[in-house]
């Protein structure tokens, strides 16, 4: 695969439509919302002359410019003619959104469509896919996706499902991830996962590869993929979520992308042996694994992770819960020595707290200065690998809000106090965490749902993310994804 496929000079949408609920309006609207340059965007539809302020061309041939990338959203029977037009127009890449091919058992039409493309030297994504998303090029496949230079990162996505690629990007953006390229390849009749992985292995703009995989078109593709996977994981982490791990899931796969999904345990075992991080429980875990890796790659702490935690959190019941979930996964809380316990007793106090590791500080942001001191002490304890701190933004914010509402403390300007936390406390916390040698993960539990709190919590979380300090919203997710990192580290140490 050639790099130019991801950097098309122009895009045509064949089957574009201005109609509210039509599939043909979807891609065009997304490209317009992302501010893809209008002079390089060509809607194709013989029934219209103008659409969203753009000139509409009756056919690809009538476009008076070269066209590199074509998105096809026409009825299935019209796709063959469109593909012939693409060949004639010397299009580089076609993404065929149209479905009704091998995913419903119609292998013949799929072979016919791809054969036209192959003969003409045109590469194809799909059919039955969403195609390309390259945020830095303002090339997106959904209106919800942020684009432009400021949204460009070094994470790339290989996804058989367009919806999953979409959700990965949008939810990923929400937790601080930035993407380089995403490819949804659907039925994968021409370009499949093996070729995409080979490309991303060598792509200097990609540091982390996320993948949603259902299966392969041929056994050979599967073999190529596995070989490439083994080479790739030594260079960059590959995080895979596999769909169709049950009989009913496999039935859904067949009708989704018409892939051969094989025996799941065999596949999972082989991928793991090739160094892939195999995420068990859906896209959220995949994204948070990427978040930890991304932050720790930047701060050079990825290979410092380990199973021994030093943990500051709030609430005795929460403490028990965290101890349970971490310990089930194989993470530990090394006991502190006498000196540390004495320090805690003196500085955190005995009343209403549980000393020991995890530390029940019941403090959150209001006790951040003590938390900094504790983290510095933990940084010196050899038995601790990773430090986690529950920031309690929600409680801090709601408490400030209610005090303000009650007007109980007239001597305090709470609005000012709330703003100052952004300027002073958070800066102090970030400055100090950056000095800590061990990996640090913040936990920001989501307790309150009202828009006001959510918005302020987002602002606070954003500040930390910008400093490459990872924030995860619950301990269970943190524990699971940290374990993935530890396993990956151990694989790399063994493989080297």
State the nearest-atom distance from the C-beta of 300 to a copy of itself, in Å.
29
Least distance CB 450 / a copy of itself (angstroms): 7
Q: How far apart are CA 415 and CA 409, in angstroms?
A: 12
What residues does 51 pair with on adjacent strands? 54
Q: Is 350 in the site for a copy of itself (CB under 8 A)?
A: yes
| Beta strand pairing call for 93-96 and 123-125 | parallel
Residue 174 binds to a copy of itself (criterion: CB under 8 A)? yes
Number of residues that bind a copy of itself (CB under 8 A): 94
**128 vs 207 by CB, closer to a copy of itself:** 128
Please choose, out of 1-9, 224-232, 429-437, 448-456, the segment that lies near a copy of itself by the rule CB under 8 A.
448-456
Distance in Å, CB of 165 to a copy of itself, minimum: 8
Q: Pick between residue 54 and residue 60 the one whose CB is nearest to a copy of itself.
A: 54
167 binds a copy of itself (CB under 8 A): yes
Q: Which is nearer to a copy of itself, 67 or 400 (CB)?
A: 400
Tokens 């509409």 sit on residue: 56
Q: Which of residues 463-492 bind a copy of itself (CB under 8 A)?
A: 476
Q: Report the residue from 358, 364, 439, 470 that binds a copy of itself according to the rule CB under 8 A.
A: 358
CB closer to a copy of itself out of 52 and 303: 52
Question: What's the closest the beta carbon of residue 298 comes to a copy of itself, in angstroms?
Answer: 22
* Binders of a copy of itself in range 286-345 (CB under 8 A): 314-328, 332-333
Q: Does 266 bind a copy of itself (CB under 8 A)?
A: no
Q: Answer yes or no whether residue 160 interacts with a copy of itself by CB under 8 A.
A: yes
Is residue 447 part of the contact set for a copy of itself (CB under 8 A)? yes
Site for a copy of itself in 35-94 (CB under 8 A): 52, 75-76
The footprint of a copy of itself on residues 242-261 (CB under 8 A) is 243-249, 251-253, 255-257
One-letter-per-residue 3-state SS of the chain: CCHHHHCCCCEEEECCCCCCCCHHHHHHHHHHHCCCCHHHEEEECCCCCEECCEECECCHHHCCCCCCEEEECCCHHHHHHHHHHHHHCCCCEEEECCCCCHHHCCHHHHHHHHHHHHHHCCEEECCCCCEEEEHHHCECCCCCCCCCHHHEEEEEEEECCHHHHHHHHHHHHHCCCCEEEEEECCCCCCCCHHHHHHHHHHCCCCCEEEEEECCECCHHHHHHHHHHHHHHHHHCCEEEEECCCCHHHHHHHHHHHCCECCCHHHHHHHHHHCCCEEECCCHHHHHHHHHHHHHHHHCCCHHHCCCEEEEEECCHHHHHHHHHHHHHHCCECCCCCHHHHHHHHHHCCCCCCECCCCEECCCHHHHHHHHHHHHHHHHCCCCCCEEEEECCHHHHHHHHHHHHHHCCCCCCCHHHHHHHHHHHHHHHHHHHHHHCCCCEEEECCCCCCCHHHHHHHHHHHHHHHHCCCCEECCHHHHHHHHHHHHHHHHHHHHHC
Task: Determine if 24 is a binding residue for a copy of itself (CB under 8 A).
Answer: no
Residues in 198-217 at the binding interface with a copy of itself, rule: CB under 8 A: 212, 214
Residue whose CB is less far from a copy of itself, 152 or 354: 354
User: Considering only 63-71, 88-96, 160-168, 267-275, which stretch makes contact with a copy of itself by CB under 8 A?
Assistant: 160-168
| Residue 402 within binding range of a copy of itself, rule CB under 8 A | yes
Between 242 and 299, CB nearer to a copy of itself: 242
* Contact status: 351 vs a copy of itself (CB under 8 A): yes
Q: Does 346 bind a copy of itself (CB under 8 A)?
A: no
Q: From the CB of 326, what's the least distance to a copy of itself, in Å?
A: 7
Among 399, 425, 428, 432, binds a copy of itself (CB under 8 A): 399
- CB 64 to a copy of itself: min, Å: 25
């Amino acid at each position: 695969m050639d790099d130019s496929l991801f950097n098309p000079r122009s895009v045509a949408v064949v089957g574009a439509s201005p109609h509210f609920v039509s599939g043909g309006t979807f891609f065009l609207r997304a490209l317009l919302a992302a501010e893809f340059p209008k002079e390089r965007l060509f809607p194709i539809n013989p029934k219209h002359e103008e659409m969203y302020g753009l000139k509409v061309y009756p056919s690809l041939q009538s476009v008076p410019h070269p066209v590199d990338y074509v998105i096809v959203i026409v009825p299935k029977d019209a796709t063959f003619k469109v593909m012939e037009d693409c060949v004639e127009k010397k299009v580089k890449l076609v993404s065929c959104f149209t479905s009704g091919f091998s995913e419903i058992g119609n292998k013949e039409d799929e072979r016919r469509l791809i054969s036209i493309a192959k003969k003409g030297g045109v590469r194809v994504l799909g059919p039955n896919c969403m195609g390309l998303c390259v945020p830095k090029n303002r090339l997106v496949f959904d209106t919800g996706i942020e684009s432009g230079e400021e949204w460009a990162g070094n994470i790339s996505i290989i996804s058989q499902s367009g919806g999953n690629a979409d959700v990965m990007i949008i939810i990923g953006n929400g937790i601080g991830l930035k993407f380089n390229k995403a490819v949804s390849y659907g039925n994968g009749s021409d370009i499949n996962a093996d070729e995409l992985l080979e490309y991303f292995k060598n792509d200097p703009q990609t540091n982390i590869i996320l993948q949603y995989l259902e299966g392969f078109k041929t056994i050979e593709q599967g073999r190529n993929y596995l070989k490439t996977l083994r080479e790739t994981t030594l260079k960059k982490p590959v995080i895979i979520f596999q769909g169709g791990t049950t009989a009913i899931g496999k039935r859904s796969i067949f009708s989704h992308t018409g892939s051969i999904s094989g025996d799941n345990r065999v596949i999972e075992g082989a991928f793991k042996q090739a160094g892939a991080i195999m995420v068990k429980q859906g896209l959220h875990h995949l994204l948070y694994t990427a978040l930890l890796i991304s932050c720790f790659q930047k701060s050079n702490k990825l290979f410092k992770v380990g199973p021994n935690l030093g943990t500051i959190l709030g609430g005795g019941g929460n403490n028990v819960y965290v101890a349970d979930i971490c310990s089930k996964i194989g993470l530990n809380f090394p006991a502190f020595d006498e000196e540390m316990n004495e320090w805690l007793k003196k500085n955190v106090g005995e009343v209403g707290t549980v000393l020991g590791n995890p530390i029940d500080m019941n403090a959150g942001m209001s006790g951040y200065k003590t938390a900094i001191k504790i983290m510095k002490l933990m940084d010196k304890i050899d038995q601790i690998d990773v430090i986690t701190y529950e920031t309690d933004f929600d409680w801090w914010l709601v408490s400030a809000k209610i005090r303000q509402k009650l007007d109980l403390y007239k001597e305090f300007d709470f609005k000012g106090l709330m703003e100052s936390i952004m300027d002073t406390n958070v800066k102090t916390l970030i400055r100090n965490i950056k000095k800590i040698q061990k990996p640090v993960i913040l936990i920001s539990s989501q307790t309150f749902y009202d828009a006001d709190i959510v918005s302020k919590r987002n602002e606070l979380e954003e500040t930390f993310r910008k400093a490459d300090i990872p924030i995860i919203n619950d301990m269970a997710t943190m524990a699971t994804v940290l374990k993935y990192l530890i396993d990956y580290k151990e694989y790399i140490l063994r493989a080297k």
